[in-house]
Amino acid sequence: MLLQGKTAIITGSSRGIGRQIAISMAEAGANVVINYRSGTEAAEEVKSLLEAKGLTNVLLFQGSVDDKEAMEAMAKATVERFGGIDILVNNAGILLPKFLMMTKPDEWDQSLNVNLTGVYNCIKASLRPMIERKCGRIVNVSSVASLSGIPGQAAYATTKAGLNGLTRVLSKELAGFGITVNALAPGFIETDMTAIFNEKKTKEYYDMIPLKKFGKPEDIANMAVFLASDQGQYITGQIIAIDGGLSV
Ligand code: NAD
């Protein structure tokens, strides 16, 4: 199994893409930490689903990624339970579907706090155990919005473009410690995040995508597992679009 004996923290993994990454990593043999902010019932459902498959190395951890102390406590609890941290997937994110002119200052701040400062908090909290072992994998979930300007996603695109910058810098800063850092840039994926689009908008987006459909969480999870495994050991600093050709 690709991730046998590894330990992975996946932020925002009670639903959507994060949920599938947690499931796929557990199925690949990893101990998984399912971080969630408020969806206790959904997080417990993922844990039960994995346990029903005989995958019992699951830790649920409630905490918002923009809460620095909570993320430090999550890293500590992970090391206590599983002995280390091998993989960090920074998946938690929020989409503010607004034009810049309509974006209020507190909405702008909230986007930055969750999508960028949240990643900073999680990386800072998880780095020491990776550095000590001279081995680690960081996978940041960015977005196609960081690659092409999609109107109505000003704050969101700004945060995801920032995440791409952080990914590139960290890949160089951490290479000497045996840690790879990559970002996934999903296009439109079928989750609660894209369920907000009405039929007309969805059709407009389909027309823009060469493969003429939205992707599934599995499309993102497969790449996350690959990058986190030994098979991805020579890939770092990359922003990998998984978008049906949207960004081409
Ligand atoms: P989603 O809304 O279903 O899931 C987002 C998850 O993040 C939820 O579980 C939510 O509770 C969690 N989250 C939000 N704020 C949090 C916080 N402060 N602390 C902890 N968890 C928090 O959306 P999704 O589509 O599964 O999105 C997952 C990631 O993929 C996000 O980073 C998103 O930007 C990115 N993405 C999604 C799409 C898409 O089309 N669905 C496209 C590009 C990028």
Give the active site residue among 156, 205, 206, 234: 156
User: If DSSP codes are grouped into helix, strand and coil, which group holds residue 88?
Assistant: strand
- High-pLDDT (> 90) share of the chain, %: 97
- Record the tokens describing residue 77, joined without a space: 């609890």
pLDDT in tens, 140-162: 999 999 998 889 999 999 999 99
Which residue is closest in CA terms to ligand 1's atom 18? 64
Which residue is closest in CA terms to ligand 1's atom 4? 16
Does 113 sit in the ligand 1 pocket, CB within 6 Å?
A: no
Residue 229 Cα to ligand 1 middle (Å) = 23
Q: Which residues contact 33 (CB under 8 A, 6 or more apart)?
A: 7, 8, 9, 10, 58, 59, 60, 61, 74, 77, 78, 82
Residue 215 binned pLDDT confidence (cut-offs 50, 70, 90): very high
Q: What is the pLDDT of residue 186?
A: 98
Residue 85 Cα to ligand 1 middle (Å) = 22
Q: What is the pLDDT of residue 16?
A: 98
Nearest-angstrom CA–CA distance, 109 and 98: 14
Does 15 sit in the ligand 1 pocket, CB within 6 Å?
A: yes
pLDDT in tens, 97-118: 999 999 999 999 999 999 999 9
**CA–CA distance from 186 to each of 123, 144, 201 (Å)?**
21, 6, 18
Handedness of CA 155, 224, 170, 84 (dihedral sign): positive
Which residue is closest in CA terms to ligand 1's atom 29? 91
Does 63 sit in the ligand 1 pocket, CB within 6 Å?
A: no
* Residue closest to 86 by CA, chosen among 220, 22, 179, 164: 179
**CA–CA distance from 26 to each of 5, 49, 79, 172 (Å)?**
10, 11, 17, 29
* 156 is a catalytic site residue: yes
CATH class of 7-236: alpha beta
**DSSP, residue by residue, 18-86:** HHHHHHHHHHTT-EEEEEESS-HHHHHHHHHHHHHTT---EEEEE--TT-HHHHHHHHHHHHHHHS---
pLDDT in tens, 3-52: 999 999 999 999 999 999 999 999 999 999 999 999 999 999 999 999 99
Termini Cα distance of the chain: 33
Which pTM was predicted?
0.98
Nearest-angstrom CA–CA distance, 135 and 130: 5
Q: What is the pLDDT of residue 139?
A: 99
Give the atom of ligand 1 at the shortest distance from the alpha carbon of 144.
43
Q: What is the pLDDT of residue 20?
A: 98
Does 20 sit in the ligand 1 pocket, CB within 6 Å?
A: no
Which residue is closest in CA terms to ligand 1's atom 31? 93
The answer to whether 140 and 182 are in contact (CB under 8 A) is: yes
Residue 182 binned pLDDT confidence (cut-offs 50, 70, 90): very high
Residue 18 Cα to ligand 1 middle (Å) = 7
Residue 93 Cα to ligand 1 middle (Å) = 4
Give the atom of ligand 1 at the shortest distance from the alpha carbon of 186.
43
Give the atom of ligand 1 at the shortest distance from the alpha carbon of 215.
40
Q: What is the pLDDT of residue 175?
A: 98
